[in-house]
Amino acid sequence: MSASTAPVTALTRRRFLAATAALASAFPLRLSAQETAAETDAAPQQFSFDTLSDEMRQLAAAPHRAPQPVSGFSKDLDYDDYRLIRFRNDKMRWASETSALALGAFPLGWLFTDPVILYEVEGGMAQEMRFSTEDFEYLNDLAERVPTTEALPGVAGFRLNHQLNRPDVMDEMVAFLGASYFRALGRGSAYGLSARGLALNTARPTPEEFPRFSRFYIARADGPGLVTVYAALESPSVTGAYRFVFFPGANTEIEVTARLYFREDVDELGVAPLTSMYLYSEKNHTQFDDFRPKVHDSDGLYILRASGEAVWRPLNNPPRLTGSYFSETAPRRFGLHQRERNFEAFQDTEADYHRRPSLDIEPIGDWGRGDVRLVEIPSALEANDNIVAFWVPEEKARAGDAREFSYRMHWGDLPVNPQADTAHVVTTRAGHGGVAGVEGQENFRKFVVDFRGGLLDRLEQDSGIAPVVNVANGEIVSNVLQFVPENGVWRLFIDVRAERDAVVELSAHLAGYNRKLSEKWLYQWINAS
């Protein structure tokens, strides 16, 4: 693992992705006998994943053409206008008493000025889905400014509804909105972290590119899964053809195949990127004057290595941008998790942080050598998504290359640790080093890590368990392990000393009986005090 820093602007994408909830999920769709079809006066065209791939390969051989921004009344919509627009329930595509799927669209305007075209695929033929101002409801005085009937050049994105939680309610299951961003839900989840189709030069000296999905082809019950979504990805450096196969449930699974075609060299390619928010928890709550004990969509990066070793890296809200690289060969999984599921830990009656989904990426096939990269960006507000994680292949992408990646996404309240005999990290706390209640010393920090689960739950207090602690760029002053009978955890105290501005890397696990008894805890401390 290594750390790096580079100038970057904090991600403020959360502000416009909040429109997903404001525009789409405010009113779940209840089933009715009405079914509404889009206008279909455009000629159907033959379609397959291979034909889309061939088209994107040919596009990569030609210069990139920027999309034409929307014109008309949509281009003048601001944030306040945009949040007053709803897709009408009676215009939802495919909605009927017998349908397991319904589609609604997001309007163009505000930050979303590049039209996205949707197609329905049936029997190997793709038919464009047409939209007009009549498909949307315009609230308050906005209705007076909208043309009575005007065909739209496309939409900003779309959402798919399904009986995810109740058989009589079509709850939102996934939304694609903005660049290549999308968010999905498991049963009982509330929207939190997002995924992207691709990350290009994130937090690097070279400017970051944000590829966009320009077209979607949607096939209901096309083979396995509830629905298959195909997407065309476009960017100055790369084009791509994507296939998403959806399996909704308690943990919604999405099988993804990404075929990429490079017209330019890419400094750093980010595969299966995830974007989330971490503001504070026990270890940095003192920096925020807020009645809520915790505020975050995710609290840690989880990696399951090829060897079977589990790694847990609690997230930070650092004093400056940091980029950590975790070298791996063919990892089994990696992802951003929300382990804390107790409402009492958040005390937020609106954000429902305890219901935010975790998301794992499970590579399909051998991804070889590379790095799981974690980017952490300083943030003073929960409106900023300041956490990014993705896979960086060892081999750089060059102009003319073609790459294919397949992986399975797991969205929902994922198991804390799928390894039954291995303990997991419950909580990480931090504070002044040394004895509690005594004036703290400079360059001295205490970390407190609680472990629970696996064989630890069946061992006595004097079972001979020992901590294994390592540090880079600092000094371990002491480490002590004790059992806490009040809550049944094994608590590890680590005191560390480091020079000012040092980037300290810590690791720890519990061992006994000639084996590891816990996952590996990793942490990064920037001594900026």
Distance CA 446, CA 433 (A): 4
**Which pLDDT band, with edges at 50, 70 and 90, does 20 fall under?**
low
Residues 288-313 have a mean pLDDT of 97
Tell me what pLDDT residue 56 has.
98
The three-state secondary structure class of 73 is helix
Which residue, 355, 307, 344, is CA-closest to 327? 307
Tell me what pLDDT residue 19 has.
53
For 360-393, the pLDDT digits (tens) are: 999 999 999 999 999 999 999 999 999 999 999 9
Distance CA 404, CA 422 (A): 34
The three-state secondary structure class of 72 is helix
Domain boundaries, the chain: 2-412, 424-526
Q: How far is CA 266 from the centre of its chain?
A: 22
Please state, for a pLDDT cut of 90, what percent of the chain lies above it. Answer: 81
Q: How far is CA 162 from the centre of its chain?
A: 21
**Which pLDDT band, with edges at 50, 70 and 90, does 18 fall under?**
low
Q: How far is CA 52 from the centre of its chain?
A: 26
More confident residue, 507 or 27: 507
Distance CA 160, CA 99 (A): 12
Res 468 pLDDT > 50: yes
**Which pLDDT band, with edges at 50, 70 and 90, does 72 fall under?**
confident
Tell me what pLDDT residue 31 has.
39
If you search the block for the tokens 């994922």, which residue do you land on? 414
Residues 55-70 have a mean pLDDT of 94
Q: Which two tokens stand for residue 394?
A: 């060892």
For 106-141, the pLDDT digits (tens) are: 999 999 999 999 999 999 999 999 999 999 999 998
Residue 410, phi then psi, degrees to nearest 5: -120, 110
Give me the half-sphere count of Cα atoms (radius 13 Å) on the Cβ side of residue 407. Answer: 25
Residues 507-525 have a mean pLDDT of 96
Domain 424-526 classification at class level: mainly beta
Distance CA 388, CA 332 (A): 19
- DSSP designation for 31: P
**Which pLDDT band, with edges at 50, 70 and 90, does 97 fall under?**
confident
For 251-284, the pLDDT digits (tens) are: 999 999 999 999 999 999 999 999 999 999 999 9
- Determine contact, residues 117/184, Cβ cutoff 8 Å: no
Q: In the CATH scheme, what architecture does the domain 2-412 have?
A: Distorted Sandwich (2.70)
Distance CA 304, CA 341 (A): 21
Distance CA 360, CA 165 (A): 21
Average of per-residue pLDDT values in the chain: 91
Contacts of 350 (CB under 8 A, 6+ apart): none
If you search the block for the tokens 């975050």, which residue do you land on? 296
Give the other-Cβ count within 10 Å of 91's Cβ.
20
Tell me what pLDDT residue 109 has.
93
Q: Which two tokens stand for residue 284?
A: 């940095």
**DSSP-assigned states of every residue in 374-433:** EEE---SSTTSB-EEEEEEESSPP-TT-EEEEEEEEEEES--S-S-TTSBEEEEEEEEES
Q: Which two tokens stand for residue 386?
A: 């300041």
Write out the H or E segment, with its range, that includes residue 21.
Answer: helix 13-23
Write out the H or E segment, with its range, that includes residue 360.
Answer: strand 358-364
Which residue, 343, 341, 339, 347, is CA-closest to 293? 347
For 165-224, the pLDDT digits (tens) are: 999 999 999 999 999 999 999 999 999 999 999 999 999 999 999 999 999 999 998 678
Distance CA 373, CA 492 (A): 27
Res 328 pLDDT > 70: yes
Res 96 pLDDT > 90: no
Q: Which two tokens stand for residue 268?
A: 């750093």
